[in-house]
Each structure stands twice: as C-alpha cells, then as structure tokens.
Amino acid sequence: MTEWVQSFPWPDFAKQVAENGVTISLGPATGYVLKFSNGLVAYLSGDTGITAEQKLVVHDYYKAKLAVINIGDVFTTGPEEAAWVMNTMVQPTSVICSHANEAATKDGKVLPNTRTALFIKNTQASVHVPLSGKTMEFDGDGKCTQGCR
C-alpha cells in the first residue's frame, strides 16, 4: 500500500481507490504557460478545474493563443466546463483537448456521443484532437500549420 493510502484520513476508502487504479491529488490547481521561440504562448491546464487565473493570468497577462485542456471530468474540467473556460476565459485561437479518459477516435475520426465530441461542439476556438503518431505544429498566432485535423 502506498504511503498516501496509509496516511489518508479514510483508509478504507483510500484502499478501494488505490485497488481500482484511481489516484487522488488534493493539492492546488496547477497549470503552465509556455512561450516558444516562434512567439507562440501556450497554456497547459494540467489536472485542474475552473480557476480565476485562467482569465487573469493566462488570457489577460500572457495572451495565450494555444491551450491544451483536460476534459476528463475527474479532478479536471469536464467537456462543457472546459468549453466554457476556453470560450469565456482563455479565448485562444486553437485548443487541443486532452485527458478525455475515453476512446474518443476511430480511424482518425471523433466518435459521436463522447466527451471529446461534446467539447468540440461547445467550443468556439478551433479544436484539434491529438492522434497517436501524428504531430501538430502551430504558428505564433496559435494557428495549426501542420498535422491539423
């Protein structure tokens, strides 16, 4: 049993969580803003929910043009929350959805009735879905220039 399970205030619950392969992080929300040599500013949401910093820091100060946001709905924003964050707070040119916790594509196409499809439907920015073995490239304005869906 891992150390966090032994020290968790509800050890039976923690044991069930660990046995089912679920992890829990109760730390502060953490995202990252990266600036690339071509001038692109990208926001990586990390495992977080909605935070005021997404508007104040990511949009207002850094003016991120590309965002990678988790849409899995477990300790992160779900697809509708993530779309709201992108549309009203971060307002990037492009978004890469990630951490959906589902098989979201088949033969390179997004499956209907998935978190990923719901996120795409509700997001105003250009949404790009990561595919295994495919590399995407973005210019300094956040527009996908290669490997785009």
CA distance 10 to 8: 6
| pLDDT at 145 (0 to 100) | 97
CATH numbers and ranges of domains, the chain: 1-26 (no CATH), 31-146 (3.60.15.10)
Residues 6+ apart with CB under 8 A from 39: 140
CA distance 145 to 121: 22
Q: What is the pLDDT along the chain (149 residues), one digit of tens a residue?
A: 444 444 445 567 667 777 777 756 556 677 999 999 999 999 999 888 889 999 999 999 999 999 999 998 877 889 999 999 999 999 999 999 998 888 999 998 999 999 999 999 999 999 999 998 899 999 999 999 999 86
| pLDDT at 6 (0 to 100) | 46
Phi/psi for 30 (5° steps) reads -135, 125
Q: Pick the closest to residue 82 from 93, 74, 70 (CA basis).
A: 70
| pLDDT at 9 (0 to 100) | 53
CA distance 114 to 102: 8
Q: Pick the closest to residue 89 from 73, 69, 118 (CA basis).
A: 69
**Residue whose pair of structure tokens reads 């088949």 in the numeric block:** 106
Question: H-type helices in 3-149, by residue range?
Answer: 3-7, 11-19, 53, 79-84, 115-122
Phi/psi for 87 (5° steps) reads -70, -40
